[in-house]
Chain A
Amino acid sequence: MATINVNGVRREVQAPGDTPLLYVLRNDLELSGPQFGCGIAQCGACSVLIDGKEVRSCVTALSEVTPNQEITTLEGLPARWAKQKGISAEQAKNTLHPVQQAWIEEQTPQCGFCQNGMMIKATELLEGNPNPTLAQIKVAFTTSGLSPNLCRCGTYVAIIDAVKHAGEIMAGRR
């Protein structure tokens, strides 16, 4: 039995400690944001935030995560934004994270399977720097993590457009 903190809620899970966090999130907690893409930290489809840092849940064992660490999945982005902005829990239910808003405004996904990881990576980037340059965005999505975040549909232009768009919302410029 392990206790983890997912999207602001403490959860008890029965899975063995060596279980990759991805399977715990998907199968035990029935979250659908993180996806299985490679299982070997080469693509980013499974990404979550742990204490604000993008982590590949497919190579992170359940036992590596402490109860005090804050896991945020795609599902938890609106509440994360609401907390950062001091929005009430009630209002937060109708709120989207600026990254999600921007991904819709820019019509970014095609098949969308990788976009969980893209949005998680964008959130990590923009929380530290809401006004990234093109070069900084490219670094974030290629060399900042365990591997580049891969999109087989090739939506990188739309991702860059959406990162800039989201940054403007987060910085109050939009």
Chain B
Amino acid sequence: METTNQNQVNVFGATLSRRQFIKAGGVLVVGGSLVGPKVLKGEDAKPTTLKNSLDASLPSSWIEIHPDNTILIRTGKNDFGQGSTFTAYPQIVAEELSVPFEAITTVVQGGTDCTPDGSGAFDFLGDGMPNIRKVAAYTYQALLDLASERIGVAKDKLTVKDGIVSGGGKSISYGDLVKNQQLKLTIPVRGNLTGIIGLTVDGNPPMKPVSEYKVIGKSVRNSAITLKVTAKENWATDVRLPGMLHARVVHPKTLGSTLVSAGELDKSKFPNSQVIVKGNLVGVVAPTEWEAIQAAMQVAGATKWTEWKGLPGNAKLYQHLRDEADWKSTPVMQGHANKGNAESTLAAAAKKLSATYQLSYMKHAPIGPTMAVADVKADGTVHIHTHNQNPQQLRGEIAMMLHTTPDRVIVHAYPGPGHYGRSNGGNAGAEDEAVILSQAVGKPVRVQWMRADDMQWSTQSPASFSDVQLAIDEKGKMTAYQIDHYMPAMQDDRLIGAVLAGLPTMPAPDVHSDFITSTMNNISDEWVYAPVPNVVERGHGTFQVGQRASPLAVGLRDHSMRTPVQFQQNYPRELAISEAASLARADAIQFRIDHASEERAIGVLKAVRDASGWDTRPSPRPDAVSTGSTPVRGRGVSLLYRNLTYWACVCEISVTPATGAIVVEKCTFAVDPGIVINPVHLKRQVEGGAVMGIGHALLEEVMFDESGVTTDDWNSYPVPTMADLPEIKVVLLHNPAVGKYGGGSEAANALAAPAIAAAFHDATGKVIRRLPMKPTYVQAVLKT
């Protein structure tokens, strides 16, 4: 323990300070301090950070230890159904502090005025080192320093069990260590609070050895589930402010229409309603929700827009992407695994596969359409109540829209319908519209998108295609692999209300290297077949479809969605690898094992082979059939590495050639995330992701014409129902030697599509290289 002055102690780079002794209560609060002078970019972010988020004496610390031995934790990450903030996070903190799970009685999440680190509801565990773990590790060291001082025993002679520090025959609880004191631990952080990644805890405090884990690995329950099933949850949809008006937005007729004239309100029918027009943004507000809905429908019918036809429509989409999209302006991205000389190897190949794979536009499709309540006060302060993955970034974006500073924007975070990435860059769609309307009427306004608004005016996961070439030698080895991925910009975080109203927001996607709004298409699919000697992976990017033709600069706006980019890159790769195995007359699992060197990749493949009862043989099956009305069966496999987690999946399907109908009968997953923190919750996440993945594989395709998205409800955008549910088997491979926590909530949705497509080939002998595998597309392939 190094004492820097009378009241400050250096704890592995963090600073423990005692502000004063107090008569009652007491607390140890743990907050951050910024390292380096240039970490906050721009003038605007500073007041935010200093005023609301980093002074641990304000209620924005990561951890508070109270005299009654209870502990509170705070995280900028907002739960979207992963449950990590209520299960894994308190488990990690309890583990590092050596307290029981139950000691962590409160989890505060998301809100910009009550959490410290920003960032989005993604990658909760994927880097293996969430902020909260390091914070807890620093805190543990500080508590040992305090205990050492208090009971007069050297720090390295102390042990801790269940929050009681013991040594030299004496012991003291954490609660007693903080009693009657105001202690503050300031830990080093870096980053940009209102950026997409938020702040990151710096330094390297010692961590508890994995071999001593007691809380991690247990299936503790998610406390939020209890609130939700007993109707005690405070959802974003429940927010009601005094004087609040309900609003609906009349969105433009097409993705390129500008307003000719807003419809006149029929005051005889809707005496309490009001139409607000700002640029091309038309809103209708009313004291009751039902009047707002009806009035908005009446106004929508009377509103005139310019016509616009600037989209290729579904039928011409891939031809448009191939021949008309601008792939030249954006630099081509190269994969990290590129090596050797694929071109010459391909030219001399004994056997060669050359194929193109196509993926559809898909919607995040939250089960509830986006909504938000905004309250723009007379003094310019803005309060936003919403369900959002990245409240701090939303705050920055709203401040930009209103020409104000982020400290005057407060985002309150609530639970809501998961939307799988749509708002990880700061907005889900309705927040900025609510702000604009609230500012216009001087009252709190609740904007609720209807189902059609959410299907037609939200962002979507972009369509893409990939060209693959690979070579197989005489011995059945893959000697070259080359893939070119083509995808429009995936991360458009512009505020749609600001775009329509003509207010400032970030620029439309363009050619630059910033993550947000870049047209660059990075290689995201981790290469897992290291022994292949010649590898080329290239990413080609372009503008969003219709973006530059639209007078609104809108077009088909895209946004990252569950397992983004990697989904689009792993599907063509894994289906191509299954096809390569067939070319080599090899079994698809054994072929992958033979081309992998990483033990964990081989481990999940062997585990999924055993658990699924896989019969080792080449595909297609000897009796494959591509005609008739009798269902034929097949099975396929896929492999993926993401966020430190290895995944393998086997799908068993039946195909009825006459109808083109595919039924997934069984899915088996093997998952190695390194350390399994909560087995039950990981299993539930995999099951759910599997179902979503079946939707991506078989059902989900955004339909659009030359003017806009025609998909507008659950009939035109079908997602899996319980009738589509196969038997799902999940094998969790707890692998503590990895020493880290891999992400397990996300990537399960990416495994099904390539495994189902490979199973289709196994069953029919035909290859379908297009998602979704709708009956009409299936039938077209079977006729070839």
Contact = CB atoms under 8 A, between A and B. Distances in A.
A111 B722 contact: no
Interface of A: 15-16, 18-20, 23, 26-27, 30-33, 35-40, 42-43, 45, 73-75, 78, 96, 100, 103-104, 107-116, 119, 137-138, 141-143, 147-160
A119 B229 CA distance: 8
B233 interface: yes
Given A37-B369, A152-B365, 8 more contacts: A38-B451, A43-B714, A103-B229, A108-B225, A151-B691, A153-B367, A156-B722, A157-B684
B416 interface: yes
A154 B690 contact: yes
B105 interface: no
Contacts of A108: 225, 229, 684
The 7 A-B pairs of least Cβ separation, nearest first, read A154-B691, A110-B81, A111-B81, A111-B418, A148-B721, A112-B228, A113-B417
B692 interface: yes
Given A16-B290, A36-B368, A152-B719, A115 B691 contact: no
B4 interface: no
Contacts of A159: 722
Please indicate which of the listed interface residues B83, B228, B713 has the most CB atoms of chain A within 10 Å of its own CB.
B228
Given A42-B715, A109-B228, A32 B725 contact: no
Contacts of B235: 32, 35, 113
A113 B418 contact: yes
B528 interface: no
Contacts of B228: 109, 112, 115
A26 to B, nearest CB: 7
Interface in B378-432: 415-418, 420
B630 interface: no
A33 B231 contact: yes
B367 A43 contact: yes
A110 B722 contact: no
Interface of B: 80-83, 219, 221-222, 224-226, 228-231, 233-235, 237-238, 240, 288-290, 365-369, 415-418, 420, 448, 450-451, 680-681, 684-685, 687-692, 695, 713-715, 719-723, 725, 728
Contacts of A42: 451, 713-715
Contact of A15 (B229, B290, B366, B417): B290
A113 B713 contact: no
A interface secondary structure, majority: loop
Contacts of B685: 110
30 contacts: A15-B288, A26-B237, A32-B237, A33-B231, A36-B368, A37-B417, A38-B451, A38-B714, A40-B713, A42-B714, A103-B225, A104-B226, A107-B221, A109-B81, A110-B81, A110-B83, A112-B228, A113-B417, A114-B417, A116-B231, A141-B721, A142-B722, A142-B723, A143-B723, A151-B367, A151-B691, A152-B366, A155-B687, A158-B684, A160-B725
A30 B224 CA distance: 20
Contacts of A147: 714
Contacts of A74: 229-231
A114 B290 contact: no
Among B81, B680, B728, residue most surrounded by chain A Cβ atoms (within 10 Å):
B81
Contact of B367 (A20, A113, A137, A156): A113
A148 B723 contact: yes
Contacts of A153: 81, 367, 418, 688, 692
Given A38-B451, A107-B221, A157 B728 contact: yes
A150 B417 CA distance: 12
Given A40-B451, A104-B226, A137 B692 contact: no
A167 to B, nearest CB: 16
Contact of B723 (A113, A138, A154): A138
A38 B449 CA distance: 10
Contacts of A35: 235, 237, 368, 417
Contacts of B231: 31-33, 73-75, 116
A32 B687 contact: no
Given A96-B230, A107-B221, A23 B290 contact: yes
Contacts of B721: 141-142, 148-150, 156
A138 to B, nearest CB: 5
A32 B228 CA distance: 10
A64 to B, nearest CB: 15
Contact of B722 (A40, A119, A137): A137
A121 to B, nearest CB: 10
B681 A154 contact: no
B714 A150 contact: yes
Contacts of A18: 290
A37 B289 contact: no
A73, A143, A154: residue with the most chain B Cβ atoms closer than 10 Å? A154
A96 B471 CA distance: 62
Contacts of B681: 107
Nearest to A159: B722
A16 B271 CA distance: 14
Given A42-B715, A75-B231, A138-B722, A152 B290 contact: no
B367 A141 contact: no
A147 B715 CA distance: 10
Contacts of B715: 42
Contact of A39 (B367, B416, B451, B690): B451
A158 B681 CA distance: 11
A160 B722 contact: yes
Contact of A111 (B219, B238, B415, B723): B415
